[in-house]
Structure 1
Amino acid sequence: MPLTAPPAGTTRRPPRIARPQPVERADSARVAAAATEGDFWGAVRRAGGGPLVEPDPHGDPAYRVVTFLWRGSAATRAVLVMPNKVVDPRDLDRNLMERVPDTDIWHWSVRMRADWRATYGFCVDEGGGPAAGTAGYWAWLRGRQVADPLNPRSLARRWGGEPVSYVELPEAPAGAEWRRREGVPRGTVGAHTVQSELLGNERQVHVYEPPGGGRDLPVLVLMDGEMWQPALEVADLLDNLIADGRIPPLVALLPESLGPDVRWAELACNERFVGFLERELLPWAAERHSLSDDPARTVVAGQSLGGLTAAYAAVHAPHRFGRVLAQSGSFWWPDGPDLASSEWLTGRIEATERLPVRFWLSVGEQEWVALPAARRLRDTLVAKGYADAAYREYNGGHDYLCWRTELADGLVELLGTDGGGAA
């Protein structure tokens, strides 16, 4: 039976709740000694740039002190540091950097577990805007975000623009599968315009075909294709996983999102969008490639609203989508005053019989909005008998830096040639 979503107009923005616990601030020994150092900024550059990563002051090898640095000018009034989900938008004062007196050193330190990673940026007040504490100041300051000029490590930004800086602590997943390797056979990627009568629009769809092609190939449908292929080059990941025998050769379909507003409309348990995937996109691709129609060899994947849609697609059309890879899914949707008016999809799963669908879910420990809803979905799946459902939490936020390595692990488990993908 089709799964009917809540009526149009249902509240859909994320719950506006405060972070339950502020992150633990720390002191940097390097910054404390900065006033006596002859060439502080030169030493930072020679050490590889920012942020500084120092041992835990309590001697715990499982933790590090991370210090973000900004080299200010005489005009600098304030600097806000914005690590992904290590900032509460309702309490921005906690993320304002401090200046070492009589220097150009602005700093902000936090104590984090050694497997943490995050993208981040700085919002710099060099004057010309509202005074601090006045109406509109925070909105103005947040609109002035820039990358870290001391950090050579960066990641593509969603919807284009200047790349964002990132920090990875020593025990964080390194993401080696994403590096293009010499000697690895490469698949082909094409961009195509696909029209949808159901949605009344058209979009670019990036299509990955494995090296050498093949017949009856498994299928990956991955939301937000504009980020995963032109920006992050997911084709390199797929080439490496296939070459290493970790997943079988497959075809990947990456439909683009049509901007933030359309994305909200299409990826919030939208029956017509799932119809586009099932009855328009997959048949369009099957005319051009030899694709499996086995739901157990068809993975639907996404992040945030895309993760919600991936799970909804499988629950709505289990005969076509038998494998779900949902990362940081917006399972809180639609936000309401209580659980009875929120977490709609979890409620529908709880109210229906177990389906022939396998779930692979992951979410960041720093995602205080998404995490509780993800845990409730996990508990619901267990209670309904989805014994093969996988769930895990990583030390990070709502962040493509984390999602790219989680994507690799999820594909291996759902489709892996070592038996991990067996139904």
Structure 2
Amino acid sequence: MAGDLLKRAQTEGTPLIDGDEATFVWHGKKPPHLIGDFTNWEDGEPVRLVRVAQQMWAAKLNVPQDAYLEYIFMQDDARLTDPFNPRTIPNGMGKINNYFFMPEGLPTPLSRRETGVARGTVTTHRIDTDDRAAGRLRKVYLYQPPVHEPCPLIVVWDGQDYLRRARLPYIIDNLIAQGRIQPLALAMVANGGQARLLEYGCNDITLTFLIEYVLPLASQCLNLIDITRSPGSFAVLGASMGGLMALYTGLRLPHIFGKVLSQSGAFSIEDYDTVVYDLIQMGEPKPLQIWMDVGKFEELLETNRRMSQALQAAGYPVIYREYNAGHNYPAWRDDLWRGIEALFGI
């Protein structure tokens, strides 16, 4: 049996998938332990591998059929990639994770560049921050869809990651080509690096940078609808702290950003609820359409459930989704099209 396990690991790669069971395999004298989305990484209890034969170790987990999960082995505080799994991905924090999809959890084809699909144009710009954001210059990536008519705009926090890791322009290209959404332009704003948490922590100075610098640049370089004639027609998008900032942006500037896409929003930090919980209870609901999603394998699940319930209790229209994945860009990439189609579908 152990020989079959090793042979399968060598030929099929790991984890071995049998129904809803994923088996992780290690060959060596000493087993590492296993952490990942399913343990809340280092903050949870690691999975211990058990000996199944001489120098053979294994661990089995029950995993939903449509899950996408990332993981790594740990031994003596060192991260070890899975030798039987060649699929690796940067985690956005300078480290590498292994990953796998369950049989029904394949990546969305919308994030691929398709032959014959008209492509929009992405241009790179550097804005003088004038002390409205960290650093002297800030990159903004503008996407003009392959159409001639004026379009609504989506402002994207953590824009460099949505551009490169989520492949957002390809998703927009494909949705437009398939006739599923109205054409959309993008202003993908790079974050402030080490100042990211400060800039996205419900920061009004970040909003002044957006209003005074990003929106004028977008209006100059992109063919946008007149927001003064169509108030609230723009949208704002972000994930994690960017998801918090997306909702905050909509609550503070609903006359511009009437549509909010918040992915895994960090609405609470540790045990502290951010000011958005207070804002949604003040006065009449703002004219917002809100789409939220969050992974079932991440620590922000509970605060997103609470925020969804709080928004609905305050009278806001909310579309809320949970999916079987963790806190990462592949998960956000593969679910985002649903939010874009929900808010801009035709």
Q: TM-score, normalised by structure 2?
A: 0.90
Q: Please say if 1:230 is aligned against 2:160.
A: no
Which residue does the alignment assign to 1:135?
none
Equivalent residues of 1:156, 1:232 under 8 A apart: no
Deviation, 1:69, is 2.5
Residues 219 and 291 of structure 1 are in contact (CA less than 8 Å); yes or no, is this contact kept in structure 2? yes
Question: How does 1:38-49 map onto structure 2 within 5 Å?
Answer: 40-47=5-12, 49=13
**Displacement of 1:273:** 0.8
Aligned counterpart, 1:207: 142
The separation in 1 between residues aligned to 2:71 and 2:244, in whole angstroms, is 25
2:123 aligned with 1:190: yes
| Counterpart pick for 2:295 among 364, 379, 384 | 364
Distance in 2 between residues matched to 1:405 and 1:154, nearest whole Å: 17
Any unmatched runs of 5+ in structure 1?
A: 1-32, 56-63, 126-140, 337-341, 418-423
Could you tell me whether the CA contact under 8 Å between 2:35 and 2:42 is conserved in 1?
A: no
| Percent identical | 33
In structure 2, how many angstroms separate the alpha carbons of the residues matched to 1:373 and 1:207?
Answer: 32
- The Cα shift of 1:285 comes to 1.3
Q: Which residue of 108, 114, 121 corresponds with 2:65?
A: 114
Answer whether contact 1:85 1:398 (CA < 8 A) is retained. Answer: no
* Offset at residue 268 of structure 1 (A): 0.7
Cα-to-partner distance string for 1:217-259 (whole Å, 9 max, x where unaligned) = 1111111122222334322222111111112222111111232
User: Which residue in the other structure is 2:48 paired with?
Assistant: 96
Letter in 2 for 1:282: L
Aligned to 1:412: 341
Answer yes or no: is the 8 Å Cα contact 2:68–2:331 preserved in 1.
Answer: yes
Q: CA deviation at 1:95?
A: 2.0
**Higher strand proportion (structure 1 or 2):** 2
Q: How many Å separate the matches in 2 of 1:295 and 1:148? A: 51
Given that 2:112 and 2:171 are in contact with CA atoms closer than 8 Å, whether structure 1 keeps it comes out as yes
Q: Which has the larger radius of gyration?
A: 1
Tell me, yes or no, if the aligned pair for 2:165 and 2:330 is still in contact at 8 Å: no
Aligned with 2:14 (options 25, 36, 50) = 50
CA contact (8 A) 2:259 2:288 kept: yes
Aligned: 1:275 with 2:229: no
Residue in structure 2 matching 1:403, options 329, 332, 340: 332
Whole-angstrom CA distance in 1 between matches of 2:94 and 2:328: 15
Whether the 8 Å CA contact 1:159–1:227 is kept in 2: the answer is: no
Name the SS for the 2:63 alignment partner: strand
Alpha-carbon distance in 2 for matches of 1:393, 1:230: 24
- Within-5 A mapping of 1:246-395: 246-259=180-193, 261-292=194-225, 293=227, 294-333=230-269, 335-336=271-272, 342-367=273-298, 369-386=299-316, 388-395=317-324
Equivalents in 1 of 2:142, 2:277: separation in Å? Answer: 31
Distance change in 2, residues 1:225/1:122 (3 Å): farther
Q: CA deviation at 1:327?
A: 0.8
SS at structure 1 position matched to 2:257 = coil
Residue of structure 2 equivalent to 1:87: 40
Q: Classify the secondary structure of the residue corresponding to 1:89.
A: helix
Question: Which blocks of at least 5 consecutive residues in structure 2 are unaligned?
Answer: none
Distance 1:86 1:356, change over 3 A: same
Aligned residues: 341
1:67 correspondence with 2:23: yes
Q: Which amino acid aligns with 1:321?
A: F
Contact 2:238/2:244 (<8 A) preserved = yes
- CA distance in 2 between counterparts of 1:328 and 1:117 reads 15
Measure the CA separation in 1 of the matches of 2:173 and 2:339: 16
Is contact 1:97–1:106 with CA below 8 Å preserved after alignment?
Answer: yes
Provide the C-alpha distance between the structure 1 equivalents of 2:93 and 2:159, rounded to a whole number of angstroms.
Answer: 11
SS at match of 1:172: coil
Instruction: Give the TM-score normalised by the residue count of structure 1.
Output: 0.75
Cα pair 2:202 2:275 within 8 Å, conserved: no
* Larger displacement relative to structure 2 (298-307 or 342-351): 342-351
Contact 2:16 2:23 in 1 (8 A): yes
Q: How much does 1:334 deviate?
A: 7.0
| AA of the residue aligned to 2:308 | R
Task: For residue 90 of structure 1, report the CA deviation from its aligned partner.
Answer: 4.1
Q: CA deviation at 1:156?
A: 4.2
Query: How far off is 1:195 after superposition?
Result: 2.1
Match for 1:373: what amino acid?
A: T
Give me the whole-angstrom Cα distance separating, in 2, the residues matched to 1:149 and 1:208: 39
